[in-house]
């Protein structure tokens, strides 16, 4: 089954001419036809255009032309990233029907590298959520248990990779939205340093926090994607003018002498005991590999959640003000003046979670409250960043759980926003500090749900977290297990 292979395996077979890009693409769509009704990972499937892309690659191979690094690899794009000619909704009714005239820089780079865009992935509306239940269209299900959430907001991307509906995917991470769904779905998810990857073409939620990153089946595929999407972009003033290393070279064995810090604030009440035990077992593997492990402290961790939700919602309030029914997207039918148009369009076009965050952010920015809330949150953000700087004087990386629990059930937390927000408690500090982190699968619960381990690195040191993740992946046999979605589908078909 070509759909179960990694991107690296696919390119190797295509280069040897053992398989064709068309065979790979057709096999991916057969898998989508088998499982998509159960997973609901996609908002848009790019079937005809994808097959044309595959034929073009096969023609190049027949002519003896150079084969791109991702030739024939199936790519799924989170629906918050612009793709020219494809509807881009951000999972929201208010952008229904919007077709961008351009593609995001990362999308263009991956297409030029030979990746075939399979479709646009479902997501929480405007990336606001931790379960992909806040999509305006439908909830996505976890391939490991279709009665559970895949995480969010990049849940569609994570589920598509885990269900073998794609080889690689693009997600975005504002407070954990790559890493948390990667944890819930048992895949690899990497949030780069803020500024490492261009955000041009990313529809903004919180501009100082948003970051694009890879979601893959193994660490090597994440490294390959990072090689392609990293670097300065003149279209994005926030992208850093720094040399990009070869991340694939970081996938090498050897961790002797590496210093790993374990933040005590991440192993407190509220952490699922199975998650804690699995992380502790994973640390023993690192000790066997020669790493030195010590406990460290990040004293301002407890303030990260309130600081994040003040900063993120304030920025969202500003960014989402542009959706008014005039320029693009949904427009309500009204007989009144322009103010009535704005009000009705936004009332009908935005979902409850988006409205909740806009109101919170507008309040935090309002006269008389700015200093008490937003400004104070920014000061706390500085303290959190300093905490990380201090521990990285003693450690090379930090290791924590990615999420406090395995995937929870659909509808379990949707009506309790505060409980839902706690799902990102271990990922949010990393976004506030602007540093890189990767989530990899490190084990399973008693009910066979994946458990994610988060590896946090210094600013612009994605190389080290990739190496640390790669060594764990090579030493353990955890990644060899596959999600049981095909079993669920077969059982349902029998019934």
* Residues belonging to the active site: 78, 153, 177
161: Cβ–Cβ under 8 A, 6 or more apart, which residues?
A: 76, 167, 168, 169, 185, 187, 215, 216, 217
Backbone angles phi, psi at 338, to 5 degrees: -65, -35
The two structure tokens encoding residue 19: 């398989």
DSSP secondary structure, 352-384, as one string = HHHHHHHHHHHHHHSTTTTIIIIIHHHHHHHHH
Q: How many CA atoms lie within 13 A of 310 on its CB side?
A: 21
Cis peptide before 153 (omega within 30 of 0): yes
H-helix segments, 189-327: 219-229, 273-288, 304-319
Residue corresponding to tokens 């990644």: 479
Provide the 3-class DSSP secondary structure of residue 190.
strand
Beta partners for residue 295, in sequence order: 262
Dist. CA 157–CA 134, nearest whole Å: 15
Burial 24-45 (b: 16+ CB within 10 A, else e): bbbbbbebbebbbebbbbbbbb
**Strand 42-45 relative to strand 168-173, pairing:** unpaired
The two structure tokens encoding residue 217: 């089946």
Query: Contact 465/255 with Cβ under 8 angstroms?
Result: no
Dist. CA 398–CA 7, nearest whole Å: 28
> Distance between the two ends of the chain, CA-based, in angstroms?
25
Own/partner pairs, 484-487, CB within 8 angstroms, 24+ separation: 484/143, 484/144, 484/448, 485/35, 485/38, 485/39, 485/143, 485/144, 485/146, 485/162, 485/163, 485/164, 486/34, 486/35
**Strand 437-444 relative to strand 188-191, pairing:** antiparallel
Tell me the chain's radius of gyration from C-alpha atoms.
22
Count other C-beta atoms under 10 Å from residue 152's C-beta: 32
């Amino acid at each position: 089954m070509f759909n179960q292979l990694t991107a690296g395996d696919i390119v190797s077979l295509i280069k040897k001419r053992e398989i064709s890009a068309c065979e790979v693409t057709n096999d991916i769509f057969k898998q989508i036809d088998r499982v998509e009704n159960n997973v609901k990972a996609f908002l848009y499937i790019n079937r005809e255009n994808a097959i044309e892309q595959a034929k073009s690659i096969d023609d190049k191979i027949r002519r003896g032309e150079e084969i791109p690094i991702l030739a024939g690899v199936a790519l799924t794009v989170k629906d918050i990233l612009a793709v020219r000619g494809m509807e881009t909704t951000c999972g929201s009714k208010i952008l229904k029907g919007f077709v961008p005239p351009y593609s995001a820089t990362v999308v263009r780079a991956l297409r030029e590298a030979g990746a075939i865009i399979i479709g646009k992935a479902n997501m929480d509306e405007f990336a606001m959520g931790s379960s992909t239940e806040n999509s305006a269209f439908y909830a996505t299900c976890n391939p490991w248990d279709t009665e559970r959430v895949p995480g969010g907001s990049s849940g569609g991307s994570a589920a598509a990779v885990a269900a073998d509906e794609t080889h690689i995917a693009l997600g975005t991470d504002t407070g954990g939205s790559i890493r948390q769904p990667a944890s819930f779905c048992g895949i690899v998810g990497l949030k780069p340093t803020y500024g490492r990857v261009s955000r041009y073409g990313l529809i903004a939620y919180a501009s100082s926090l948003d970051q694009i990153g890879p979601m893959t089946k193994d660490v090597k595929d994440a490294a390959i994607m990072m090689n392609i999407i990293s670097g300065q972009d003149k279209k994005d003033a926030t992208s850093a003018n720094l040399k990009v290393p070869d991340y694939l070279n970081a996938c090498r064995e050897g961790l002797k002498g590496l210093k790993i810090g374990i933040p005590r604030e991440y192993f407190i009440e509220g952490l699922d005991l199975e998650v804690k035990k699995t992380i502790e077992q994973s640390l023993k593997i690192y000790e066997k590999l020669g790493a030195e492990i010590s406990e460290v402290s990040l004293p301002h961790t407890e303030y990260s959640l309130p600081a994040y939700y003040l900063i993120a919602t304030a920025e969202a309030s500003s960014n989402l003000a542009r959706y008014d029914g005039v320029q693009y997207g949904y427009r309500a039918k009204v007989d009144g003046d322009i103010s009535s148009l704005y009000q009705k369009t936004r009332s009908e076009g935005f979902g409850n979670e988006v409205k909740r965050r806009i109101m919170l952010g507008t309040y935090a920015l309002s006269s008389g409250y700015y200093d008490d809330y937003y400004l104070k949150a920014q000061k706390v953000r500085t303290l959190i960043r300093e905490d990380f700087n201090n521990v990285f004087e003693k450690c090379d990386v930090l290791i924590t759980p990615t999420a406090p629990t395995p995937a929870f059930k659909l509808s379990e937390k949707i009506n309790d926003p505060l409980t839902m927000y706690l799902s990102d408690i271990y990922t949010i500090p990393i976004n506030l500090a602007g540093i890189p982190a990767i989530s990899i699968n490190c084990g399973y619960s008693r009910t066979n749900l994946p458990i994610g381990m988060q590896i946090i690195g210094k600013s612009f040191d994605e190389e080290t977290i990739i190496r640390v993740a790669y060594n764990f992946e090579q030493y353990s046999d955890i990644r060899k297990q596959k999600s049981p979605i095909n079993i669920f589908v077969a059982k349902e078909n029998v019934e």
